[in-house]
Structure 1
Amino acid sequence: MKPGYRPLRSDGIASMLVGTLIALAAPAWAVLASPKGTAGDDPAMGASRGRGGDPAVPRTLPISGRVLDPDGRPVAGARVILDLSSADATPDGFAEASASATTEADGRFALSVQRERLAEAGTRRAGSPEGPVLAAFAAGYGPAWTDDLNVGTDDGATLTLVRDEVPIEGRIRDLEGRPIAGLNVRSIQLDEAYRGDLSRWLEAIRAEAVGMASYGHFRRALPPALASMITPAKTDAEGRFRLAGIGRERLASLLISGAGVETQVGLVMTRGGPSSSVLFRHFIAAGDTRLKKVPIHAARFELVAAPGRMGEGTVDAADTRRPLPGVTVRAGRWMPGGFPDIWPPIDWPAVYVRATSDEKGHFRLPGLPATGMFDLVAEPAEGQPYMPLSRRRIRSSGTEPLRVEFPLSRGVPIRGRVKDGADGRPIAAVVAYYPKTGLDGSELLSSTPRRTHPVGWFEVVAFPGSGVVTARARGDRYMSSDLVGEERGRADQPFPDALGLPSARDFDAYASIVTPEPPEAASCDLVLTPAPEPVVTVLDPDGRPLAGAVASGVSAADEAREAWWQSVAQSRFRVTGLTGHRIRRIWFHHEARRLAGSLSIRDGDGGPLVVRMRPWGVTSGRLVDREGRPRPGVPLSYRDAQYPDPSLKWQFPKAVTTDGQGVFSFQGLVPEQEYTVMVLGDGTVGPSPRVGDSHTLTPGETRSLGDVREAGR
């Protein structure tokens, strides 16, 4: 270590300031990085022993299942893809699929994934993307997808393809009615109603449900990384295109781009009949939003494409005027008359309207609006010690090339490591820097967040002066910074005030820092506090240890965690993911003995804990409408009335769908726990519509609910 080099440590609360600086040099991870990834992540190592004598847990998990056609027959030759890109998705784009397989003659498939990788992808924390998606594609059908992987079950996941009876057939013209040839049309997201029918969603938007309120009718979307697997189309000389492989009764978000037009997203249904529209709030200015109708096209439609504009210019270093290659230039935020605020709820202009500077620093950015106002942003590549720059509120009024220059200011590299506070091992995390002052009214931006390198090293670029460095680990094994502060009796210590910095609960560690003037560099280590993982002992009704119970409800990653495997193998397991501010309910079920139990755990509780299983309850009923007529094909879920958290996956009992007579049945209910039957995908904001009254069952009780109907229906 060089004399005077003192890395900052952070313990999840504001730390001391950097006292010493280091000269710019090659990053230390250039020597230390391992090409195999984070230590302990090598699947060749096989199964690992759990803590304190816990049973062996496999490093690699099998993902298996079947692909069926709409009539329930096996489909051979279908391509099945497990997409973990949700864990890697950034505003800059989407990762590729993580694993794939092809179905055999019986429709079966098998692939594998590292257990920890699946756990990280399945984690759901505030502001984080959703978990992994398994999808199947086959010629002549629309894709099937699910986020219920059924890891560890005999049957695995079942993916049922849909009929592809209604292809999208469109024609694109310019403002003067002339067809436009050579435009690219591709899907970037697919949405499907819970009931496989868009009718009720159309009823909602015709009743002027606003924006996202109407999208409660849809289940988990097929994300961009998978939607892009559908073969794209190109307009012919008549401006026509045909896009197949989406499947009936779906809503497709189509990206339309090409020479001379503004890049846009069109929303198209795979059903006939009239087109429609949905209301979205459109940003005008601070505190001023207005409702704007966004068209929802039927499967056969015509679209007028607005003229576009080419953006071009040079990116260079402000101090030396040397060109900077590899810099990303992209569209910024939406502005009045610019990119519309529509479904899908991603910053799609930033993802799809972008270019990269060449070796001379030049860039060409097609697809900009010819009229309206928008921002452009230049973001340096990793390893370039420069700050991003925004050109704000660019007013566009013409189709001639728009010249934009980006002289980037040199910043201060901050280098360090993200480490586990218990054993010092490197942690995969996203590290960001936030300046405390000095950007009001400026076009300078905070540096792009960076992922740590394989051995935990990171480098972010900062402004000279005061700021805050933050770390957010992949997965949910570390306590949020505010919980760490409370645990150490420092909850009253004020969180640093920095531009764009949310709150302590949004990070696992942070440190205040004072950086020097360039070209000097600063150092900062961030130390994460492992969340408590209390041991839960499962007992049978007679108080004896009970192996074989399955725990669910901790997090979407639970099936890939030690907890699932330990609960199956023995009578105890560790609860993971206790990182935030809430009380969560964990459910336990032993199917062979038809026993159930539950346990409420507060985040930060270190245990040990005990749950006693009892004979589970069963309910049944018939769902009817106001006139007493049965309602077939309605998806229902049984929610804990006190903890109805829809983000927790693998809850038990699982959702069911009413049969042709509206009849439903649920098994596995925990005795003396209040339950409520909910309707899934009814398009409402907030809690789903309730079916009947809340109720509790005694141990082993079987109860008929009779005829029930949705509240208010």
Structure 2
Amino acid sequence: MRVSQTVSLGRAVVGAGGGTDTDRELLRRFARDGDQTAFEALVRRHAGMVLGVCRRSLPTVQDAEDACQATFVVLARRAAAVRWSESVASWLYTTARLVARNARVAAARRVEREARAAVPEVVEPVDRVTGREMLAALDAAIDRLPPAYREPLVLCYLEGLTHDEAAARLGVPRGTVGTRVDRGRKRLHAALVRAGLAPTAGLLALAVANPASARLVGLALAAVAGPVPVAVAELANGIATTGTAKSLVCALVALACACALAAGLASVAPSRGGVARPTAAKGEPPVVAPSAARVEIKGRVVDANDKPLPGAKLFLHLGHTIVPAQQVAAGDDGRFLFTISGDTLPLLLATAPGQGVGRWPLNGRPVAEFTLRLTPDEPVRGRVVDPEGKPVAGVSVSARALYMYHGEKDFDRWLKAARDPDCKEVARGGEPIYGTERGFTGPIEPATSDRDGRFELRGIGRDRVVVLRASSPTTATHELTVVTRKVERFTARADTAITGSAEEVHGCEPVVVAAPVPVTTGRVLDDATGEPVPGTVLRVGGLHGSSRLAELIAVAGRDGTFVLPGLPPGGRPHAFVLPPGDTLYHALKVSVPDEPAGRAGFDIKLTRGVPVTVKVVDKVTRAPVESQLRYGVFPGDNPNQKAVPNVRHFHQTEHPRRPYISYESEFRIVAFPGKGMLAVQVPEVGAFGGAYLCGVGAGTFEKHRRGDELVGTTGVSRTSVRDWHTFAEIDVPADAKSFAVTLELDRGLTAPVRLIDADGRPVAGAESYGLVHPAGGARWSRPLADATPTAVALRAGEQRRVMFVHTDRKLAGSAVVVGGAKDPVEVRMVPWGEVKGRIVNADGKPVDVRLDLSTDFVRKPDLKFGSTPIWNPAIAGVYTGEDGCFRITGLVPGLTYRWGVNGWTVDAATSTDTVAKGGETIDLGEIVVRPEQP
């Protein structure tokens, strides 16, 4: 396979001339004997990584190559003066960062002086952060790691070595490398998240180095042998004689924009190397880490006439972030070739002058060469005016989301249905090319309105729908939907609109009304010292206006100053204030002032807390378990909380910097001195989903319990005892500099089950509900491998109903299991039950709109079984037909179901409770619904 050939070739280039010698051995031979072959081996090993570091920091390839050569010149000069470790990868990484920094610092200072002379410093909005800045922020975060963790990360991620290869380079056992990689990865992830970063699976994998070209290796060796080119010599001479990682860290320029980038490294595994994962308990299936092999992506970019598009820019869409691909532009013939991690499932995006954005889904598997065909562009040319129609300059207009249609006829069909309220045709909505990104605007460059209020956006493409955001500090931020056709403004029908409700849609020459608003600006300061806290992220919510405008983000600059995008009038805006990096400040929730004077001096004070390290382990095996954590304080139990009355404690599902949940086995949080509550929850899916008891330790907080919830903690006021697994009280000493605690997860007891059919034969392949603890809203399982499953996470004597549906054989059954039982409970699988009915209006006519039918299993008072979703694997979803009729299958015989009807244009209605009967269809008759009342 071509992928294997590519990997093998890369290994050959990296390892050439060095064999299995460590870096220290090669440097010793070079320093002692002048062995040029040994130094050449070092250059070949690390030049790709060094060039990658420099390329991410410098604007041109030439600058990066000069910096790369200078880095190896410094290494050669210091070969005999330093006691080297077994590997020099970490030293080269930090030195390359310093060399690259020196190459750009003079120009950066000049630009900064000119900018300050012209206008006050304004922090760049998060949505303008470029892909280069994202990777630069990642480099800065790696640089701040302890050397013991930085070295294996550089080797396994940026140089693509396996754990075995890295262990040989470092002279340590393979297990030690795995442990250090895992801990370093988690530290890196935690540091970036605390800095205000949303998770971006795959960002680290994108920084992996490609092998350096023979030309670059030759240039580096020539520079070491001398004479050194002037540009390279200046860079090498600019490095301090200490040349250590510590001096580099002290010299780094703060990257304020980086504090709003995405870096979800918890879900990324090193390329070609495994990460230590929790091992499964005895009797459970082993936990297998996903493969992280590199996959070759090969294709070409062409226009609608199949003409190659040389220089087309390439991007990878990774969930909520867009970053440049490893090959940032197509070649002269429009072709491209690069690799991605097999763990990622990105979209490949491409742009070219005069073309609209094109996309191609990548599935992390080897694919044949493909053709990415772009569509002709249709620029959006609009004007920004104030409420009186006068032009407004300086308003940024960006493409926040983009939707495509498959051909002109498809778009025409949607446009007709959207504009005509009487149209009966159901038109398919647009397919998203990309959605609202937190870290990057995407491949379409924002535009700024000129003195006449005019702006132009290129690269959207013909016959598409785009969501634009118009924003500036002095005008109200708002979003509008635009189609890339010259059409009159219209109101789209709710069932065709992007938002799901009726919305105004503009043609490709929109007029944007920008209402003036007071400028909202201030500083983020340390409450005790008054010093600025740069890099603090402010996420502003509670906004009035478009439902899409959920939040606005700003980042404090080097002096702590921030300027919010213009807040729309109305609403109750508030800001979640998220301190950066490893700073030990409490997060806050503050109200944004209403009056102009308050918005002009919106200063925010941050208070320091105590760093607490929390580890989560299995009670029996002591293996780490990935989970999510919640910390809170009951004000009555801890008077220290009064010092920060507006504190906001988050857990992952509510964290404003993270669009998705990220699970860890070790956390670092900021706590108050005194008492507090910790709660931990294991994800409902995965190796340990539903395998642990819930509510363990909740009795400690019994006085705060209201039903199934603990009520009254700071920030997050309610915590479900049924959904969170372990609770613990901590008491942090008043004079503590740090604090550590370990939380244990309890598996509880089990109960065996045996599935048989009517003839007493075992039934394998059924889906289940209830075998695991239904914390957080459990789901039906995948088909079971055998007929003797086991219910887990039960307390002694606890009763729980388990249910089974076999889709292929149309069988269903249920039983009650008891925790600690030794003998299996027998479940007889019989033909499932069904119901049918008809939805009509008050006149007896069938309802001609789509309706959802939902149901809830009725709980018996003597057994707290919990609810089960009707949407088991036998049901793909239930909707009425044109005649208003419906049929629901897959019901478990003997269980009672309660039915309800919900629709967009009708009020909810209920039907009689139904006891499902095996092999029978129950007719619910006609269910009458009435039009929804305003």
Select the structure that is richer in helix. Answer: 2
For the structure 1 residues 392 and 607, does the alpha-carbon distance in structure 2 shift closer, same or farther, using more than 3 Å as the test? farther
Counterpart of 1:671, as a letter, is P
1:512 maps to which of 723, 729, 754: 729
Cross-structure match for 1:184 = 397
Q: Structure 2 CA distance, aligned partners of 1:589 and 1:622?
A: 25
Counterpart of 2:670, as a letter, is V
Q: Structure 2 CA distance, aligned partners of 1:228 and 1:531?
A: 48
1:340 maps to which of 521, 538, 544: 544
Counterpart of 2:811, as a letter, is L
Cross-structure match for 2:744 = 527
Q: Counterpart of 1:548 in 2: which secondary structure?
A: coil
Q: Deviations over 1:117-174 (max 9, x none)?
A: 9xxxxxxxxxxxxxxx9999999999999xxx9xxxxxxxxxxxxxxxx999986431
Counterpart of 1:511, as a letter, is A
Cross-structure match for 2:920 = 701
How far is 1:650 from its partner? 4.1
TM-score for the superposition, normalised by structure 1: 0.58
Residue 652 in 1 paired to residue 866 in 2?
no
Select the structure that is richer in strand. Answer: 1
Q: Structure 2 CA distance, aligned partners of 1:478 and 1:375?
A: 36
Q: Structure 2 CA distance, aligned partners of 1:48 and 1:460?
A: 22
Counterpart of 1:540, as a letter, is D
- RCO comparison, higher one (Cα < 8 Å, 6+): 1
Counterpart of 1:542, as a letter, is D
Residue 175 in 1 paired to residue 382 in 2?
no
For the structure 1 residues 328 and 640, does the alpha-carbon distance in structure 2 shift closer, same or farther, using more than 3 Å as the test? closer
Q: Structure 2 CA distance, aligned partners of 1:40 and 1:46?
A: 12
Matches of residues 293-308 of structure 1 in structure 2 within 5 Å?
Answer: 296-299=503-506, 303-308=512-517
Q: Structure 2 CA distance, aligned partners of 1:511 and 1:46?
A: 27
1:612 maps to which of 807, 813, 828: 828
1:353 maps to which of 553, 558, 565: 553
Counterpart of 1:445, as a letter, is V
Q: Structure 2 CA distance, aligned partners of 1:577 and 1:95?
A: 38
Residue 394 in 1 paired to residue 394 in 2?
no
Matches of residues 85-484 of structure 1 in structure 2 within 5 Å?
Answer: 172-180=384-392, 182-187=395-400, 224=436, 234=447, 255-258=469-472, 260-265=474-479, 275=491, 296-299=503-506, 303-331=512-540, 334=542, 339-340=543-544, 343-344=547-548, 348-349=550-551, 352-358=552-558, 360-368=559-567, 374-376=573-575, 378-388=577-587, 392-397=591-596, 402-428=600-626, 429-434=628-633, 436-439=638-641, 445-446=647-648, 449=651, 456-475=665-684, 477=689, 483-484=695-696
Q: Deviations over 1:563-590 (max 9, x none)?
A: 845x4421133457989xx998755332
Q: Deviations over 1:309-349 (max 9, x none)?
A: 54444444444454433222343x64xxxx327635x9x33
Q: Deviations over 1:664-697 (max 9, x none)?
A: 4444343344456654543668xx544x655455
Q: Counterpart of 1:367 in 2: which secondary structure?
A: coil
Counterpart of 1:420, as a letter, is D
For the structure 1 residues 528 and 184, does the alpha-carbon distance in structure 2 shift closer, same or farther, using more than 3 Å as the test? farther
Counterpart of 1:546, as a letter, is V
Q: Structure 2 CA distance, aligned partners of 1:618 and 1:174?
A: 60
How far is 1:246 from its partner? 12
Counterpart of 1:174, as a letter, is D
Q: Counterpart of 1:484 in 2: which secondary structure?
A: coil
How far is 1:473 from its partner? 3.8
Identity %: 22
For the structure 1 residues 659 and 296, does the alpha-carbon distance in structure 2 shift closer, same or farther, using more than 3 Å as the test? closer
Cross-structure match for 2:809 = 593
How far is 1:413 from its partner? 1.6
Q: Structure 1 CA distance, aligned partners of 2:588 and 2:779?
A: 45
Q: Deviations over 1:39-87 (max 9, x none)?
A: 99999699999766567787659xxxxxxxxxxxxxxxxx99998x7xx
Counterpart of 1:594, as a letter, is K
Counterpart of 1:257, as a letter, is S
For the structure 1 residues 427 and 169, does the alpha-carbon distance in structure 2 shift closer, same or farther, using more than 3 Å as the test? farther
Q: Structure 2 CA distance, aligned partners of 1:483 and 1:234?
A: 53
Q: Tell me, which stretches of 5 or more residues in structure 2 are unaligned?
A: 1-144, 151-178, 187-265, 292-313, 326-339, 364-377, 404-413, 422-433, 495-500, 656-660, 860-865
Q: Structure 2 CA distance, aligned partners of 1:618 and 1:46?
A: 47
- 8 Å Cα contact 2:813-2:829 kept in structure 1: yes
Q: Structure 1 CA distance, aligned partners of 2:357 and 2:821?
A: 49
Counterpart of 1:424, as a letter, is R
Matches of residues 66-81 of structure 1 in structure 2 within 5 Å?
Answer: none
Residue 573 in 1 paired to residue 789 in 2?
yes
- 8 Å Cα contact 1:481-1:510 kept in structure 2: no
Q: Tell me, which stretches of 5 or more residues in structure 1 are unaligned?
A: 1-24, 62-78, 86-93, 100-110, 118-132, 150-165, 191-195, 204-221, 279-293
Cross-structure match for 1:8 = none
Q: Structure 2 CA distance, aligned partners of 1:615 and 1:515?
A: 58
Q: Structure 2 CA distance, aligned partners of 1:381 and 1:661?
A: 58
- 8 Å Cα contact 1:371-1:396 kept in structure 2: no
2:717 maps to which of 502, 505, 508: 502
How far is 1:381 from its partner? 1.8
How far is 1:549 from its partner? 1.7
How far is 1:614 from its partner? 0.5
TM-score for the superposition, normalised by structure 2: 0.46
Q: Structure 2 CA distance, aligned partners of 1:113 and 1:588?
A: 35
Cross-structure match for 1:75 = none
How far is 1:595 from its partner? 1.7
1:668 maps to which of 883, 890, 896: 890
For the structure 1 residues 382 and 509, does the alpha-carbon distance in structure 2 shift closer, same or farther, using more than 3 Å as the test? farther
Q: Deviations over 1:519-568 (max 9, x none)?
A: 7222332223346665443221223321122235889999x999845x44
- 8 Å Cα contact 1:482-1:504 kept in structure 2: no
Q: Structure 2 CA distance, aligned partners of 1:48 and 1:257?
A: 46
Q: Deviations over 1:455-474 (max 9, x none)?
A: 73322222334433443444
Residue 551 in 1 paired to residue 756 in 2?
no
Paired residue total: 566
Q: Structure 1 CA distance, aligned partners of 2:751 and 2:360?
A: 38
1:634 maps to which of 850, 866, 873: 850
- 8 Å Cα contact 1:330-1:353 kept in structure 2: yes
For the structure 1 residues 593 and 492, does the alpha-carbon distance in structure 2 shift closer, same or farther, using more than 3 Å as the test? same
- 8 Å Cα contact 1:370-1:397 kept in structure 2: no
Q: Structure 1 CA distance, aligned partners of 2:491 and 2:800?
A: 44
- 8 Å Cα contact 2:692-2:773 kept in structure 1: no
Q: Structure 1 CA distance, aligned partners of 2:821 and 2:476?
A: 54
How far is 1:426 from its partner? 1.9
- 8 Å Cα contact 1:478-1:508 kept in structure 2: no
Q: Structure 1 CA distance, aligned partners of 2:810 and 2:546?
A: 47
For the structure 1 residues 654 and 563, does the alpha-carbon distance in structure 2 shift closer, same or farther, using more than 3 Å as the test? closer
- 8 Å Cα contact 1:480-1:504 kept in structure 2: no
